[in-house]
Structures are given as C-alpha cells and as structure tokens.
Structure 1
Amino acid sequence: MPPSLTFVAALRRFRRNRRGSAAVEFAMIAPMFIALLFAILESAMVFFASQVLETVTQDSARMIMTGQEQTAGKSKAQFKSDLCAKVVALFDCANGITVDVESFPQFSTVSLPSPIDANGNCLPPSNYSPGGPGDIVVVRAFYQWPIFVTGLGFNLADASGSKRCLTATAAFQNEPY
C-alpha cells in the first residue's frame, strides 16, 4: 500500500470495487437458503410418511371391518404383521410401528387418549380388541419419525428426542359378518 493512501481512501476504493460481490452476497444468503431447502425436504418427507401410514392403516382396518381378521382368529401380532407387509421400505416396522385396536358399543363412547404423555414422550397405547359384528372400532397406527432439521425456529418434532409421533386413524362400524 502506497504511503499516500489513507485508510479512508482505501475504504472508498473497496466500496467502489464490485468484483466478487456476487460471491460475497451468496455466502451471506447460502446458509439460510440451504436451511430452508432442508426444512422443505423434511416437511415433505414427514407428510409423505404420514400419508403412507394412513394408507396402510386404512387398508389393514378394512380386514377388521369386514370380519376377516376375527373369523380367521388372528392375533395382534398377526394383524401388525399384515400391516407391516404393506409398508415397503419407509418404516422400521418390526421395532417402530405400534398398533392400537379398540372397540366401542357406539360412536358416542369413543374416547382416545393422546399418545404423547406430559413429559413429551410418544407412548402410544397397544390394545387389540377388534370387536364383533356391528361394533364401533378405532384402529390407530403410530410411528416415531426422527426429525433432523430443528434449528432456526423450525421444528416439526412433537415428542422428546427430536421425533414426530405420526398417527394414522381409521374409525368404522364393523359389518354384520
């Protein structure tokens, strides 16, 4: 730097120079852009997983509604196995999916507890009562989906351990089989 160049003159020359300004601007914006991109991707994955769980729950509940599960004498483990057979690769079915099947005499008596306790843990019920002909049955499937993008105020987790407690529900009246 020449001795005649003062600090103020160097600062003015730096502000006038526009070479590399796009790179500097991108470096300032890139972290927020990438965080937003990952948040969008994670939201899409959670929504997709929720829809897959909803679909397999509806399909499996149809077997109870038509009486096929009851007349075959299938157990809770067999029902869960049938449900897991419909999930291809999205879930760890053996360790992750919990199934809750409860029957009620009428729709007005249906009462379902939240799967998330006071401490934020996802502890879904695990009953198996498919009911008989004409009974009201509620089939629920639960899965704890891991959440990775939790920074910058964006957090889809509703359970402890950065997890989302996905819940799929089918409510119906059994057919007279």
Structure 2
Amino acid sequence: MPRDATTTTPGRILAPLQRFARCRRATTALEFALVGPILILLVLMIIENGLMLFAQAVLDNATVVATRQLQINTINTSADFRTAVCSNMSNFFNCANLQFYVNSSPTGFPSVVMPSTSGAFAATVFTPGNPGDYVLAEVAYNRAYVAPWLIKLAGPDWILLATQAFQNEPSL
C-alpha cells in the first residue's frame, strides 16, 4: 500500500520527541537557569545578613563606650552622648539615623522603651542621673538595606537596637 502525505505513523510523530529527550547538550544551562537565581538570591541575602550583624556589633560597641563615659560622669548633654556614640562607629553609619533614649532612676532600673518601626523613640529623653543612680541607655539605628530589592521581601529598614543598663559611679 503506497504512502501518501496524509498518512502518518506513530513512529514519525514520536521520533523528534525521542531525539529531544536523548539530547544532553543544554542540560547544564537549563539546570543553572532553574537553580541559579535562587542560589544568587541566597548568597546576596547571606551577605546582607552579614552586613547587618557587623552593623549590630559596631553599634553595640559604640554604645558600651559611650555609656561608660556616662557612668563615670564625663558626658552631661545629649549632644555629647551622640558625639560619643558616633565617634565610635565607622563611616559605614550615618549618624542622622541614630536615635537614643537615656533615663535614670535612684531606686531601680527604668523600663525598657522599644523604638517604633521607623527607629524613633516615642519621647526623646536624656536623663543621665546622679552618682549612684540606675541608668538605662538605648541606642537605635535605622539601617537601610544594601540591596534595595530586599525591601519587598523583608520591609523598609532594619532597626538595630543596643541597650546598656548600669549604675552610675559614686562621686569621689
């Protein structure tokens, strides 16, 4: 029986699909196209998290140094406290994004005050207290992401918070 153009066999239809299934030339490129963006996103998020942890460590250290100066009564104004914190932070920080709350009590530690989602405290308080007073110092830093596309994933900014509680040194 002669074949005409309208007659097809299952083998003629499946042959190109079988050849395509056996071809392995672009397998690596296809796998990278599927897995690569996820891997790159993961690496960038790890870098961003590392930068955040570095910023938190620098903020903690700057707060410790500045509150030690409060404790021994060498800082008396909020401007001096801001200068002390900023001078101990690297150029990685913008001091305009720095907020702080320093409160004291002669009978016990004041309550912790959490900053808002923008990194600002509800009230600006700077009361370093007298010798022997209990002092709570909180420093908040509103840090923007290095990778701006993370804003859609995690929110607008990271709020870093360093807290120190201590008792002022007695006067000599």
Verify same fold: TM over 0.5: yes
Identity %: 30
The CA RMSD over aligned residues, in Å, is: 2.1
Contact 1:42 1:149 in 2 (8 A): no
Taking structure 1 as the reference length, the TM-score comes to: 0.82
Q: How far apart, CA to CA, are the structure 1 residues paired with 2:37 and 2:72?
A: 53
* Cα contact 1:134–1:173 (8 A) shared by 2: yes
Matched residues in 2 for 1:36 and 1:10: separation?
A: 38
Larger gyration radius, structure 1 or structure 2: 2
Greater relative contact order (Cα 8 A, min sep 6): structure 1 or 2?
Answer: 1
5+ residue gaps, structure 2: none
Query: Residue 39 of structure 1: CA displacement?
Result: 0.8
| Alpha-carbon distance in 2 for matches of 1:7, 1:126 | 77
Q: Deviations over 1:45-66 (max 9, x none)?
A: 1111011000000010000111
Corresponding residue SS for 1:82? helix
- The partner residue of 1:122 within 119, 129, 153 is 119
**Where in structure 1 are there 5+ consecutive unaligned residues?**
none
Instruction: Write the mapping of 1:10-159 to structure 2, written as runs, cut at 5 A.
Output: 10-69=16-75, 74-93=76-95, 95-107=96-108, 109-116=109-116, 120-124=117-121, 125-147=123-145, 148=148, 150=150, 155=154, 157=155
State how far apart, in whole Å, the 2-side matches of 1:6 and 1:104 are.
90
Q: Describe the superposition over 1:69-114 as per-residue Cα deviations: whole angstroms up to 9, x where unpaired.
A: 2xxxx32112211221111211101x1111221112233x521222
C-alpha distance 23-149 of structure 1, shift in aligned 2 (>3 A): same
TM-score of the superposition, structure 2-length normalised? 0.84
